[in-house]
Amino acid sequence: MPELPEVEVVTRSLKKTIKNLKIIKITVNNRNLRFKLPKDFESILKNKIIKNIQRKSKYIIFDFGNNFYTILHLGMSGTLHIPSKKKITNLSFYSNPSLPKKHNHVIIHFKKIKLIYNDPRRFGYFKILNNKNDFENYFTRIGPEALDKDFNLIYLTNKIKNKKKNIKNFLLDQKIVSGIGNIYANEILYKSQILPTKSVKKLTSIDLIKIIKFSRLTLNNAIKFGGSSIRDFKGISGGKGDFQKKFAVYNRENQKCNKSNCKGIIKKRYISNRSTFICNYCQS
């Protein structure tokens, strides 16, 4: 599943290609996404000009101006493609370098190019919001991003009160902090030297400061290196995301800890059925 850095890379790719373009028509091959597309989806968006493209957490926002928006969530397996004479079409995650033959559910046509939404599992969705209140209220369900200034010591101190969760599940709870997924939670906790199973009630202020620091550092570095190509993520240029080459702990089972003066070995465990990688020496 694409996490915040991958969605940010996709958003930047879209800005370079379709910002300020007019939608000529929309072809819907399957309305049965996570939420069924309305019958008038095509007519509502036809002739609209995409004024801007933004990201909020793991959501891509198409801004048409005048407080009219379409939100796209890629779900577990959603990808975006812009076919061209070049073989590489992918803007997204979990993909092949060429356009898939199946599961191309929504095609947005512009004058010279088209944007295709592909989603084998159909957990992704589009949502149309046509006023400012609905748009702002839509995101009240999620917590601040780890990159936001609101994700700070005071906020975390209040959030961990009376919580029984372990810190890894805490970071993965989108209502508490949005945009962090399994890969980056592993990296953040390793760099913070905190055991993923540690109860949030036992975290000190120093622990929380480390989590804030390394959340921002890890996500910004992942964006810088174009996301993580666990399953062939590619940006608009066709180049793979390179952050997986920078993994300190994720997917490094039985390898030596790469921190200086650490004799630990990376072990793999499962927390809530999610792969969790831990240094058995420096995380406590």
**Residue 186 near residue 244, CB atoms below 8 Å:** no
* Residue 245 known to be catalytic: no
Quick one: DSSP state of residue 234? B
Collect all residues with Cβ–Cβ distance below 8 Å to 230 and sequence separation of at least 6: 183, 244, 251
Conformational region of residue 47, where left means phi above 0, alpha means psi within -120 to 50, and beta covers everything else: left
Q: Residues 55, 56, 58, 252: which is the catalytic one?
A: 58
* Residue 58 known to be catalytic: yes
> How many angstroms separate the CA atoms of 100 and 58, rounded?
23
**Residue 278 near residue 267, CB atoms below 8 Å:** yes
Closest CA to 259 of 230, 281, 239: 281
* Residue 86 known to be catalytic: no
Which positions are annotated as active-site residues?
A: 2-3, 58, 274
